[in-house]
A and B are shown apart, each in its own frame.
Chain A
Amino acid sequence: MSIREPNKTITVTIDGQECRGEWGQTILQVARANDIYIPTMCYLSKVEPIASCRMCVVEVEGVEGMILSCQEKAVDGAVITTNSDDLYRERQNITRLYDVNHPLECGVCDKSGECDLQSKTVEFGVDQQTFAARDQHRPVQDWGFISYDPSLCILCEKCVRVCNEVVGDEALQISVGGYKSTIINTKLDQQCAECGECMAVCPVGALVSTDFKYTANAWEMEKIPASCAHCSSGCQLYYEVKHTSIDNPDPRIYRVTNEHEFSSLCGAGRFAFDYANEGVQQDARAFDQAVTALRQADTIRFSGVITNEEALLLERLREALAVRLVCDDAYGYQRFLAAYRSISGSTLYEASLKTVADSQAVVVFGTRIYDDNPMVKYHMAMASKHHKARIVYLHPMEDARIQNLVTQYIKYEAGSEEGVAALLAATLLAGKTVSDPLAGVLDNLDIGNLSAESNVGEEELDTLKRSLWKKEGFTLIVGADLYNHPEAENIARFIAAIERYSDFKVLIVPPATNARGVAEICTLSEAVEGYTVGYNAPGDFVLSALGDGDLDMPALNQQEGTLTTVDQRVVPTHPALPYEGYTLNQLANALGVGSRYTIDQTPHLPRDKGYKAIAFDDLPDYFDALGGEHRGYLLSPGEVETRDVFSEIEELPAYDGLVVYRCNEGSAFGPFDARSVHRKHEAVLKGSEQFAVAARLKGGERIRFELDGESYERVFRIDTTLKGTVAIHPVWDRGLSAFALSSYRFSQLKFETTGNE
């Protein structure tokens, strides 16, 4: 045995083949990286080795007995055998044990054809059962959107681990009882995250989607690789498509799967796939009207749910037609990024989802992250579970659903974000050498006053500071509350300063699917002026992928193109369903700026913004054997001239009385998600008991209020998990007008009661 040294390449011999690996990798990882097959049953790359199946046993020279390759680190010079008669017999016996009393219902099982147990049974030639175990009554359990069949379950624990380590929901547990063990869902009444991750990693048919169950077989459906269009994470997924019915040969999406070994999806990505604009034919008259409308338009207003290529086409239209571009989703974000860059000097923020997962300390500020971007929350959970990370959550509303992850919750008053950002900067940069203008501002901070106004106690900040001691890897996640704050730019400067002068890396979560791409590609104006053409946004002439506008447009699962994600990665997506109508590219063509196909724009995305001149068809889209992501490309970093200017902090705005917070709860991302029949959300105003008392409202009462020029009529519901006088105000059910909101997310509520539910 040689000496263990970190960051060293090691050489091991596996089955006579010399393999290179890195120190710290397990035998299984080295083998996989070198294309050597070791059978596994319970191993799941994205969680810690479970080691429940013992299928991955190998023999190591000089070591007695069999070694579990999934959890044993490879040692330099080790000679490993992955296959021998003994190992084969061992694995065959494991398979035999798995097969005992496993119902012989492959004929109807949804997993048949992609079932690990099926594959292993064939691989190890287990064709009969020679011994028996007493079977018991194990009825199928209905978990709402998922069905659990305990008699099919092999207790590999993947679902439990993924629910705990990746999703951070801690809903699933193993009820230990020897042969009677089962998986139990402890959050049946309080609703788990409903992400379907457990179902995705289930190697057998024990966990299946209730809506999908028994409607199609694994081998019938065509897998169409795509990127999720619901939020800025742009997660990898496959739309699985088959003909609709015997009578209707048109393709339909039956379900969404993903490379579950390495990447994850949230509930919206997995279940809200049926938002396509279907049955559209080319309407030449509407098309001509659209061209005329665009010619006479003063403003084109559009949503952030758009591909990079379309954003570029809109930018070209802006140049050609001299119109204003308004994107309410991205405008604030663009300004925020610009201000951030003026301090950081780089076009890119330093953090990515991976750095979040690898952090030992994560500070979340200005976002209800559970709802705004589930994937960021998953990576916070991974940091918490794998690195025991400190998670500090700063927000006016405590989030009971991530209580298990958050180690410190700091409440601040709605509207006081600028003060909080300054306090954070003062705390995290104390004792660091900073530029003179910043030092001037930080030294002049009236900390006592800011603390009092923002309600962030100095001792809370001390605790925060102390908890970072002896930690490595710091991430600061900032979100959508800040981008439309009246003082967003100054907040951005403080955030950038924290990144520049401390060890923190910053993740600036884009507020909409491709807000980042729009912010990079388009020159945006703040407000609408004159005659407006709306593209997935309200306007005088509306191009809509929801099917309710003047001209139909394809939804994002009917288009090819690229998205720019929270990881600053440009990922390709492919159309899952056909679309017969007109596209934005055709409109652009009619106006003289388009190209043959929309994706002909891909290599022309602005190179000075970090995009690369790679044709769409040349973009890679896969994960390698160890989970390395090769989807599209990462934006190249660029330098920006810095301007070290900070403004003094004026009086912090106060939001007294009843406040509502615009938030699409339960990752109900918006109008597209809302079209899905698989998702069951309720658009109600949700407040705490305290809110109800302050507002003199009872649960079930119907109220009317006006916000952002829109009139809402909502049922009020009391949610006992909430605290304080801020209520949650969803807008996902509002159609296109949900894409035209660019105000600060907290607002004061004035309402009138209009009766009961």
Chain B
Amino acid sequence: MSLEQFKNRNVGVQHYRMLDLSHTPQTGWGQFKQVVRRTLSLELFVGLKVTLREMTKALFFGKMHTTKYPFEKLPVGPRYRAIHEMKRLLESGHYRCIGCGLCEKICPADAIRIETAYGEDQRKQVQEYTINFGRCIFCGYCAEVCPELAIVHGGRYETASEQRASFSLFDDMLTPIDRLKEQKEFPGYGSVSPDADKRIHKTPLAY
């Protein structure tokens, strides 16, 4: 669609069409007649028709549309960006985070802090990891930059808290080890694209 018709400000030659509305009564008698006509023709119930139908369904057929929050919650879309989750490796159960610090660097709200150290297993060990949800803007950059699909967004969207700064620690976000089987991949930004198999080239090995 071109923008031509919006740029043309010459109102006179445009094809305006007047709506076919009845005339507003000008006299007192005319106004009285309009009130009587509208009152007796039961136009009100035409407007209430849908409401009454739904009320009947709710009252007599048990088909209720209201969600009783917080006792009931609607599911959110899988790509919704809510409170973060830290994933584990499915085979070993070890946390996926390698402590590279890219999420800390990319975070535009400066909400993430990470502390790492040389671990006994010669790996980079995450000693502590925090996200300040008082600052987090849920932009999803951390999940997108994460090379290990370790930090992702989850579906927990209730972020209200008593204090302005509300921290989440590593263990709070990490998948509990006993619920590893239920761990699901995040399909949002930063996840493996559906055609990843086609785009990945295998590195040749000499063994």
A residues contacting B by CB (< 8 A) are 106-108, 112, 128-135, 140, 210, 213-217, 219-220, 243, 245-246
Check B204 for interface membership: any CB of A closer than 8 A: yes
Main secondary structure of the interface of B (DSSP, over half): loop
Check B207 for interface membership: any CB of A closer than 8 A: yes
Pairwise interchain contact A108-B204, C-beta atoms closer than 8 A = no
A140 CB contacts on chain B under 8 angstroms: 122
Pairwise interchain contact A132-B115, C-beta atoms closer than 8 A = no
Give the distance in Å from the alpha carbon of A106 to the alpha carbon of B123 in the complex: 13
Give the distance in Å from the alpha carbon of A639 to the alpha carbon of B130 in the complex: 64
A128 CB contacts on chain B under 8 angstroms: 201, 203
Nearest chain A residue, comparing its CB with the CB of B169: A246
Pairwise interchain contact A107-B203, C-beta atoms closer than 8 A = no
Check B79 for interface membership: any CB of A closer than 8 A: no
A108 CB contacts on chain B under 8 angstroms: 98-100, 123-124
Interface centre among B101, B122, B201, B205 (most CB of A within 10 A): B101
Pairwise interchain contact B204-A132, C-beta atoms closer than 8 A = yes
A-B contact pairs, 6 of them (CB 8 A): A107-B102, A107-B148, A108-B100, A132-B205, A213-B118, A214-B116
Pairwise interchain contact B100-A215, C-beta atoms closer than 8 A = no
A131 CB contacts on chain B under 8 angstroms: 204
Check B191 for interface membership: any CB of A closer than 8 A: no
Interface residues of B in 121-169 (CB under 8 A from A): 122-125, 128, 130, 147-148
Pairwise interchain contact B205-A215, C-beta atoms closer than 8 A = no
Pairwise interchain contact A220-B101, C-beta atoms closer than 8 A = yes
Give the distance in Å from the alpha carbon of A140 to the alpha carbon of B206 in the complex: 22
Pairwise interchain contact B206-A246, C-beta atoms closer than 8 A = no
B118's partner among A130, A214, A217, A243 (CB-CB below 8 A) is A214
Pairwise interchain contact A214-B125, C-beta atoms closer than 8 A = yes
A215's partner among B105, B113, B116 (CB-CB below 8 A) is B116
Pairwise interchain contact B130-A214, C-beta atoms closer than 8 A = no
Pairwise interchain contact A129-B204, C-beta atoms closer than 8 A = yes
A213 CB contacts on chain B under 8 angstroms: 118
How many residues of chain B get a CB closer than 8 Å to chain A's CBs? 27
**In the A-B complex, the 9 residue pairs with the closest CB atoms:** A107-B100, A132-B206, A108-B124, A132-B204, A134-B206, A214-B124, A214-B118, A213-B118, A217-B101
**Cβ of A110 to closest chain B Cβ, rounded Å:** 9
Give the distance in Å from the alpha carbon of A283 to the alpha carbon of B201 in the complex: 66
B192 CB contacts on chain A under 8 angstroms: none
A243 CB contacts on chain B under 8 angstroms: 113
Check B117 for interface membership: any CB of A closer than 8 A: yes
A112 CB contacts on chain B under 8 angstroms: 100
Nearest chain B residue, comparing its CB with the CB of A246: B113
Give the distance in Å from the alpha carbon of A107 to the alpha carbon of B98 in the complex: 7
Pairwise interchain contact A132-B203, C-beta atoms closer than 8 A = yes
Contact with A along B86-120 (1 / 0, CB 8 A): 00000000000011111011000000010111110
**Cβ of B98 to closest chain A Cβ, rounded Å:** 5
**Cβ of B138 to closest chain A Cβ, rounded Å:** 21
Nearest chain B residue, comparing its CB with the CB of A220: B101
Give the distance in Å from the alpha carbon of A128 to the alpha carbon of B204 in the complex: 10
Give the distance in Å from the alpha carbon of A303 to the alpha carbon of B74 in the complex: 72
B204 CB contacts on chain A under 8 angstroms: 129-132
A245 in contact with B115 given A132-B206, A219-B105 (CB within 8 Å): yes
Interface residues of B in 16-69 (CB under 8 A from A): none
B105 CB contacts on chain A under 8 angstroms: 217, 219-220
**Cβ of A139 to closest chain B Cβ, rounded Å:** 9
Nearest chain B residue, comparing its CB with the CB of A212: B118
A215 CB contacts on chain B under 8 angstroms: 116-118
Give the distance in Å from the alpha carbon of A130 to the alpha carbon of B204 in the complex: 7
Nearest chain B residue, comparing its CB with the CB of A245: B115
Interface centre among A132, A213, A217 (most CB of B within 10 A): A217
**Cβ of B95 to closest chain A Cβ, rounded Å:** 13
Nearest chain B residue, comparing its CB with the CB of A129: B203
**Cβ of B9 to closest chain A Cβ, rounded Å:** 51
B113 CB contacts on chain A under 8 angstroms: 243, 246
Give the distance in Å from the alpha carbon of A246 to the alpha carbon of B168 in the complex: 12
**Cβ of B147 to closest chain A Cβ, rounded Å:** 6
Q: A107-B148, A245-B128, A246-B113 are in contact. List 7 more A-B contacts (CB 8 A).
A: A108-B124, A131-B204, A214-B99, A215-B116, A215-B118, A217-B105, A219-B105
Give the distance in Å from the alpha carbon of A134 to the alpha carbon of B205 in the complex: 7
Contact with A along B168-207 (1 / 0, CB 8 A): 0000000000000000000000000000000001011111
Give the distance in Å from the alpha carbon of A210 to the alpha carbon of B113 in the complex: 23
**Cβ of A51 to closest chain B Cβ, rounded Å:** 28
Contact with A along B67-91 (1 / 0, CB 8 A): 0000000000000000000000000
Give the distance in Å from the alpha carbon of A128 to the alpha carbon of B203 in the complex: 7
Nearest chain A residue, comparing its CB with the CB of B99: A108
B130 CB contacts on chain A under 8 angstroms: 246
A135 CB contacts on chain B under 8 angstroms: 206
Give the distance in Å from the alpha carbon of A140 to the alpha carbon of B122 in the complex: 9
A107 in contact with B147 given A134-B207, A217-B101 (CB within 8 Å): yes
Give the distance in Å from the alpha carbon of A711 to the alpha carbon of B94 in the complex: 56
Pairwise interchain contact A246-B117, C-beta atoms closer than 8 A = no
Pairwise interchain contact B117-A214, C-beta atoms closer than 8 A = yes
Give the distance in Å from the alpha carbon of A220 to the alpha carbon of B114 in the complex: 11
Give the distance in Å from the alpha carbon of A106 to the alpha carbon of B204 in the complex: 20
A246 CB contacts on chain B under 8 angstroms: 113, 115, 128, 130
**Cβ of A249 to closest chain B Cβ, rounded Å:** 9
Give the distance in Å from the alpha carbon of A106 to the alpha carbon of B102 in the complex: 11
Nearest chain A residue, comparing its CB with the CB of B122: A140
Nearest chain B residue, comparing its CB with the CB of A244: B115
A219 CB contacts on chain B under 8 angstroms: 105
Give the distance in Å from the alpha carbon of A245 to the alpha carbon of B117 in the complex: 12
B147 CB contacts on chain A under 8 angstroms: 107
Give the distance in Å from the alpha carbon of A140 to the alpha carbon of B148 in the complex: 24
Nearest chain B residue, comparing its CB with the CB of A133: B206
Give the distance in Å from the alpha carbon of A73 to the alpha carbon of B125 in the complex: 49
A132 CB contacts on chain B under 8 angstroms: 203-206
**Cβ of A247 to closest chain B Cβ, rounded Å:** 9
Nearest chain B residue, comparing its CB with the CB of A247: B128
Give the distance in Å from the alpha carbon of A216 to the alpha carbon of B148 in the complex: 19
B101 CB contacts on chain A under 8 angstroms: 217, 220
Give the distance in Å from the alpha carbon of A216 to the alpha carbon of B105 in the complex: 12
Give the distance in Å from the alpha carbon of A112 to the alpha carbon of B124 in the complex: 13
**Cβ of B8 to closest chain A Cβ, rounded Å:** 49
Give the distance in Å from the alpha carbon of A243 to the alpha carbon of B115 in the complex: 10
